[in-house]
Amino acid sequence: MTSVRESFQDQEILLLGSNGFLGKVLLAMLLDRFPHFKRLHVVVRPSGGLSARERFDRETLASPVLKAIVSRLGPDFFASRMAIWPGDISQPNCGIASEILDGFVRRVGLVINCAGKVDFFPPVDESFQSNVDGIENVVELCVRLGAKLLHVSTCYVCGEADGLIEESEPVLGFYPHRRGPEDDSFDAREEISHTRALIREIRESGGRAGSDAARRPREEGQRLAALGKHRAANWGWVNTYTYSKSLGEQIIASTAGLPYAVVRPAIVESAWRFPFPGWIEGGRTAAPLVLMALDGLKDWPAREDAPLEVVPVDMVASAIVIVAALLMQGRQQPVYQLGSADRNPIEVGEVIRILDGVARRRGRSRRNGSLGAGLVRWAAGRRSWARIRFMTVAEVKERRDRFNRSVERTGRWIGRMNGFMGDAGSRRRPWLERCAAELRKLELQAKFREQTLDQYLPFVLHNRYVFESENIRAAFATLDEEDRKLLYWAPEEIDWNRYWIENQIGGVEKWVQPQVAAAWKFQI
């Protein structure tokens, strides 16, 4: 049996990425359920004029995830058992001062890395900073401290695939188009050097050697984004994010003598139970899909029968705690995939129907403004009462072209009416101007939806993924009774209909929509 409580007793743990969506829930779970560690060191990047401590207090401790736990544990607990350090994993020693690190040697026994750059297609050097250079630095740190490493990666390092993705696939030498175990054409270290050389070339051709993304010309950023996309596609990864995460995994796996475990969640979504049902943060998960469906999107570039591999954030945090305990005991597997579809699948089509059902019941899409707005939507081909349709990329393109032609036609019609009414001295022209504004909004909305949906194509249209998640199931089965009351890994118990309506829609509308409303709503 594994006793998680005993594994953490008197341990010093270093946590990276604690102010992210997953990191906060993990931190909250550790503090709430396993506060018997000796000391927890948290590394935070100073930014936006705030020190690490200020960011941690404002963004993490004051967040709804931790507020209640913080007030229950009290300030003495935090003063005596937690330490906040400024750091940045893209820097040598993870940006932690050397004299501080000296104090950690042989004291910090476990490093948990939740830090990562999660954007799908950023300039490749930005992905590298956190997901490749960052991992080299985290690995060096662990070696220097004599600590074990639990690293959070993603199931989607598998790249283009169709069917069951096994956990036993070796990490080293992996690339999605690999033609079997004999194929040794991919070497992560060579690939990293090659891409770094190309990054340098692009920077130097713009007359710059530095890596400051804020100061770079737009064109350089675009070339670096294209480079990431190209390198990823060359080997079969679906975006720069998963390419860089796989390189990060391979750096870890190639480090001799480093005890490690890689935890790979699928798509991390709103909490099932902890800290409370529906907690979610940030607009990068499936939140945009939820909001688009509620806003009346009917045409989906998606395969109805593709499983949607979603796991609630609190199950992911539970799994990380369980794997960390096994790692401390030296009983870990190298890879733990955290998916749901191998035991309790839900297909993309079903999810979209659930969301559309809610949208219809609410009648939200029909209450969309004035009669003029309704007319414009109708003229441009938007039928809010239409049935949802699942389409191929070609069909979606054809629909988009048709929509653009309708918009153009409607725009011409509004222009002509405007001219005619102007000649006739009509007072109805403000009404027409509102119609023109509605049309512009529709165009912007369509463009934004197009760009967003394109990013999801690998997950809902081009590939079908089922992630084998046997290792975490086996690990959970070894927990003693006491720990099973504190931790849970139970995707098979999720009632998806209820989860998508109560936890996901409820959570996205309560926590994500207000966060991104200004930027996002403006665009749709």
Ligand X SMILES: NC(=O)c1ccc[n+]([C@@H]2O[C@H](COP(=O)([O-])OP(=O)(O)OC[C@H]3O[C@@H](n4cnc5c(N)ncnc54)[C@H](OP(=O)(O)O)[C@@H]3O)[C@@H](O)[C@H]2O)c1
Please give the residue ranges that form the binding site for ligand X (CB under 6 A): 17, 19-23, 45, 47, 88-90, 114-118, 129-130, 134, 152, 154, 245, 265, 267-268, 282, 285
**Burial per residue of 259-298, b for 16 or more beta-carbon CB atoms within 10 angstroms, e otherwise:** ebbbbbbbbbbbbbebbebbbbbebbbbbbbbbbbbbbbb
Neighbours of 134 (CB within 10 A): 26
Question: Alpha-carbon distance 362 to 428, whole Å?
Answer: 32
- For the bound state, the minimum distance from the C-beta of residue 331 to ligand X, rounded and expressed in Å, comes to 23
Residue 159 or 411: which CB sits closer to ligand X? Answer: 159
Specify the residue, 117 or 377, whose C-beta has the smaller distance to ligand X.
117
CA distance 278 to 287: 12
Sole residue written with tokens 């098979």: 492
Smallest distance, ligand X to C-beta of residue 279, A = 12
**Closest CB to ligand X among residues 239, 410:** 239
Quick one: 277 or 374, whose CB is closer to ligand X? 277
Output the smallest distance, CB 499 to ligand X, in A. 15
Determine the Cα–Cα distance for residues 144 and 523; give it in Å rounded to an integer: 47
Specify the amino acid at residue 408.
E
Tokens of 466: 């089922």
* Among 407, 141, 417, 419, residue whose Cα is nearest residue 258: 141
Angle between helices 313-328 and 470-477 (to 10 degrees): 70
Q: Give the nearer residue to ligand X in terms of CB position, either 19 or 503.
A: 19
- Closest contact distance (angstroms) between CB of 402 and ligand X is 34
Q: Taking a C-beta distance cutoff of 8 angstroms, is the pair 258, 425 a contact?
A: no
Neighbours of 135 (CB within 10 A): 27
CA nearest neighbour of 111 among 222, 218, 17, 208: 17
Q: Closer to ligand X by CB, 7 or 137: give it.
A: 137
Q: Which is nearer to ligand X, 23 or 411 (CB)?
A: 23
Least distance to ligand X, CB of residue 282, Å: 5
CB 199 within 8 A of CB 224: yes
Shortest Å, Cβ 362 to ligand X:
27
Residue nearest ligand X by beta-carbon distance:
20
Q: CA 7 to CA 405: how far, in whole Å? A: 64
- Give min distance, CB of 428 to ligand X, in A: 49
Q: How far is the CB of 20 from ligand X (least distance, A)?
A: 2
53 vs 360 by CB, closer to ligand X? 53
